[in-house]
Amino acid sequence: MTRLHAVRADITRQAVDAIIDAANSSLLGGGGVDGAIHRAAGPELLAETRTLGGCPPGEARLSRGYWLPAKHVIHTVGPVWNGGGRGEAEVLANCYRNCFAIAAREGFVTLAFPAISTGIYGYPAEPAAEIAVRETRAALAANAGWDCVTFALLSGDQLAIYEPLLDESQ
């Protein structure tokens, strides 16, 4: 049985097959979760992401985890919030779909996600969480091979948004 849960935690400390990086399109590091992952993984991560050729919004790329407890990093670029009328929801849903596609292809069984696009990209936290939980449930229904999917969230406010959504969908 797949375990799906949310915790208030530093994603860079998750000992999983892959953590998901809420990256920018260059994949060369930045602020927020992306910057924290690059700092924790060490300079080898930057060297590898330089070879990946960037990543358009909604897509995902795979790298090694280097100094992280996670074996791999799946980098995905979420949408910048522009009021919701420019396809932001579909781009965000594609982030999750493409991360799960990579995880399935690689045989990963444990994953940790941040709250993609809710930081500097400004996506409202509640609709972003609804998309995250919906797409995760869909992926888990399609592939029973995952042991644990964690939403590693930075704040108690984020956790308070995710917990009822997870309770509703159990």
For residue 91, how many C-alpha atoms fall within 13 Å in the half-sphere facing its CB? 21
Per-residue pLDDT of the chain (170 residues; tens, 9 = 90+): 568 999 999 999 999 999 999 999 999 999 999 999 999 999 999 999 999 999 999 999 999 999 999 999 999 999 999 999 999 999 999 999 999 999 999 999 999 999 999 999 999 999 999 999 999 999 999 988 889 999 999 999 999 999 999 986 45
Q: Which residues are catalytic?
A: 34
Domains of the chain: 3-169 (3.40.220.10)
Least Cα distance to 151 among 139, 136, 140 occurs for 136
- 3-state DSSP of 111-132: EEECCCCCCCCCCCHHHHHHHH
Distance CA 104, CA 88 (A): 25
